[in-house]
Amino acid sequence: MSQINIVIFGIGNVGSTLITQITDFNKKTTNRKLNIFCIANSKLALFKDNVTSGWSSNFETAAQPYTLDDIYAFAKTIKEQNDNEHTQEQEFVAVDVTASATFANNYIDLVEHGFHIVTANKVANTLSYDFYKKLRASLTLNKKKFGYETNVGAGLPIIETIKNLYESGEEIHKIRGVFSGSLSYLFNNFSKEDKDFSDILLEADALGLTEPDAREDLSGKDVARKLLILSREIGLAKEFRDVKIQSLVPKELNGKTTLSQFRESVKTLDTIFTESKSKLSRHEVLRHVGELNVKTQELEVKLVQESKFTALGQTQGADAVFEIYTASYGDQPLVIQGAGAGKAVTARGVLSDIIKITQSLN
């Protein structure tokens, strides 16, 4: 069996949780250990044979500036040492749990230097379709795996399910759902409670359910990226610009204002959403949805009035829910529902992708 050596890029909430989960995994398993040989943020890296529960303090005292060439050299040292000792075959996995808009540009280089890729970062799968194809061509040429299940639905098996349906020849008609855990929380609570939208938004922010700048959630762009990823999984050569997005951020509160100015003016949102709520019938709720119509190849992100009796209308808390309409399932969609956000479920999904790669190498 191959020895799996991991470099983790990103030591924020998800990255830190992932390190803990890998440490726990290694304590419980006897047949295969996951060796974290490097952890890095955007500027510093900690190189060591393994990462223990004390990695955080070690990072503060021993991390050093690095380039990718330093990581390649360290990986080469590991491989050569084991080759000399005639031990296990060495495999290397680069894990991207950053929020970087540019780190994905390194993926092809990582692959060409012998790394499989696992990512929670959606950027690589939402760049130009040309890059999308080049990355996959490089993976095929270099016989490397690419795990990105957490790009949509955090720990839910959305991408895997849709990919399996498509590759088995199933005719997919439509994919529709509440893609964002943060927006799910906002509109689940706003629809049923007698509270101002701004108060619920501030509650969600305090719970860590929204991005630090909630406009990133309200803009609909994150949902659009997830919708784009799913469209590409079923063979549509779509670009981000092809997604029709209804932004929930008023023009006067857009990115031209500072975050502090937005927070000071957040009450401006109340009039807008109170009006939307007033238009609901007794059996309707507001839901923020992403929808892909395969027949027309239309991708849309929007706020809708939804019946309380549908899967989307019955969501609770910060759950995400996905309806997959296919020829075999007919009028009743395949429904996948569960926690759509959170560091623990996202990290667990990343770890699952790592384990899938290890299993494929047996």
By annotation, the residues acting in catalysis are: 226
Give me the helix-helix angle, 158-167 and 221-233, nearest 10°: 30
Number of residues that make up the chain: 362
Distance (Å, rounded) from C-alpha 85 to C-alpha 183?
53
- Name the one residue in this structure whose structure tokens are 């395949």: 334
Other Cβ atoms closer than 10 A to 282:
5
The answer for residues whose C-beta is within 8 angstroms of residue 226's C-beta and 6 or more apart is 122, 151, 152, 153, 179, 290
Residue 118 identity = V
- Tell me which residue of 76, 5, 12 sits closest to 35, measured CA to CA: 5
Token representation of residue 240? 């981000």
Q: Where do the DSSP E strands lie in the chain?
A: 3-9, 34-40, 44-47, 64-65, 90-96, 115-119, 146-147, 172-178, 243-245, 284-293, 298-307, 319-326, 334-339
CB 291 within 8 A of CB 223: no
Distance (Å, rounded) from C-alpha 225 to C-alpha 101?
13
Distance (Å, rounded) from C-alpha 139 to C-alpha 197?
45
Give me the helix-helix angle, 343-360 and 13-28, nearest 10°: 50
Sign of CA dihedral 214, 220, 221, 227: positive
CB 155 within 8 A of CB 336: no
The answer for residues whose C-beta is within 8 angstroms of residue 59's C-beta and 6 or more apart is 11, 39, 44, 46
